[in-house]
Amino acid sequence: MKITVSGAGYVGLVTGICLAQIGHDVTCMDVDGEKIRMLQGGKCPIYEPGLDTLLRENATRLRFTTDPQTAYADADVIVIGVGTPEMPDGSCDLRYVYAAADSIARFAQSGTIVAVKSTVPIGTCEQLQTYFNEKTGEKHLRVASNPEFLSQGTAVQDTLHASRIVIGAADEETRGVLRRMVEPFGLPIVETSLCSAEMIKYASNSFLALKISFINEIANLCETVGADVTDVAQGMGYDARIGGQFLRAGVGYGGSCFPKDTKALYWISAHEGQALRTVRAAIDVNEAQKLLPLQKARAVCGDLRGKTAAVLGLAFKPGTDDVRDAPSLKVVSELLKQGARVQAWDPVAAERFAAALPAEVRYCADVADALRGADLCIILTEWDEVRSLTPQDFERTMRIPLVIDGRNCFDPKRFVGTGVTYESIGRRPVRNHAERTDEQ
């Protein structure tokens, strides 16, 4: 099949390259000329493990362009994979979806199927169908919903080996075409109405966010009552009705999906008079959790003014350079507000972080450089380079070896009897040196 993907960001580019991997001829269209030039030169504009390899392997089935007429004129299916950022009130910004729709209406051939992969509010696909009917009439473009369920850092694996593929359509002919498009993946296919497919995406992401916020609240209670959240999560996870995934306590979720999608779903529910209180609670817990490392730092250090803080990890999770809604943005911003000096390390996300938060941060070439002379260390991303550290690395390199582990990278027992004070999430602290207060 001839498939065009509108948008060459995380969703669109991974989708397009993986569709080429299963044998389709794919054109990726984007308005960003620099991004397209990189792709035409065989270079990935985003960091996503395995994607650059597939790009090279499928070069003969992939084209990249900024010209919508070239992209849309002879496509059998057009996949919309553009961004849908959140508005200040939490609702979904659809300007990029409708910008793509305008070009599609102008250049697509009659009978083309437009599959919306971008995460959009429930009812958007039906509205797009009306929009195309009014704008093109005789072309009879058919809209479908084909939501994505990929995670950054594992996006290629998540696409090629997904747990399911969801197809939402208003008629059997449209469903049949999309079935033929995705059948080579060899994965379970769920067929629904347009609205149900859109809701599946929001409900899935919001439920996972609920699990994360739930275990983080349990972790905070564990610290108060003396329990260990790692043991609690393990005991919960053995129950097949609960499962162990997304039960790792930490400083909260970030990225391009969970924060945006939970806020959008809550906005939709409130707008419809059916406010989802559990989703609102997940959002509120997550925002508060991001500041927990700072609360722990102040409890041990007192005033942070003049202190040097090593921040290990800026991406919202390992395996990606994405910093959207990453806890690091809030933590570093607050550290600077409180007068601390920040020396940060991340293997891939420093450039994006600097663009998102222009501030006086010293970016370090390696972990040792970030730790050198620091009064405290805050771990925000569980990169392998961080996990491989030993208590002796902290003790030898830092001025004051205080580690606040926002991702529970280490077993606290490793720090007993060392010179390192180790604080984590939902577990007893290991305090091996005198606490420093404002008066010290």
Residues serving a catalytic function are 257
Identity at 126, one-letter amino acid code:
E
Contact by Cβ (8 Å): 363, 381: no
Size (the chain), residues = 440
DSSP secondary structure letter of residue 318 = T
Question: In what helix (H) or strand (E) does residue 372 lie, and over which residues does it extend?
Answer: none
Which stretches within 272-418 are classed as H helix? Answer: 277-289, 292-301, 327-337, 350-356, 367-371, 384-387, 391-397
What are the two backbone dihedrals, phi and then psi, of residue 435, each rounded to the nearest 5 degrees?
Answer: -70, 140
DSSP secondary structure letter of residue 147 = -
For the beta carbon of residue 167, count every other beta carbon within 10 angstroms.
Answer: 23
- Radius of gyration from C-alpha coordinates of the chain: 24
For the beta carbon of residue 192, count every other beta carbon within 10 angstroms.
Answer: 16
For the beta carbon of residue 239, count every other beta carbon within 10 angstroms.
Answer: 9
d(CA 275, CA 268): 8
d(CA 18, CA 157): 10
Cβ neighbours of residue 251 closer than 8 Å, sequence gap 6 or more: 289, 290, 292, 293, 327, 331, 380, 406, 407, 425
Cβ neighbours of residue 60 closer than 8 Å, sequence gap 6 or more: none
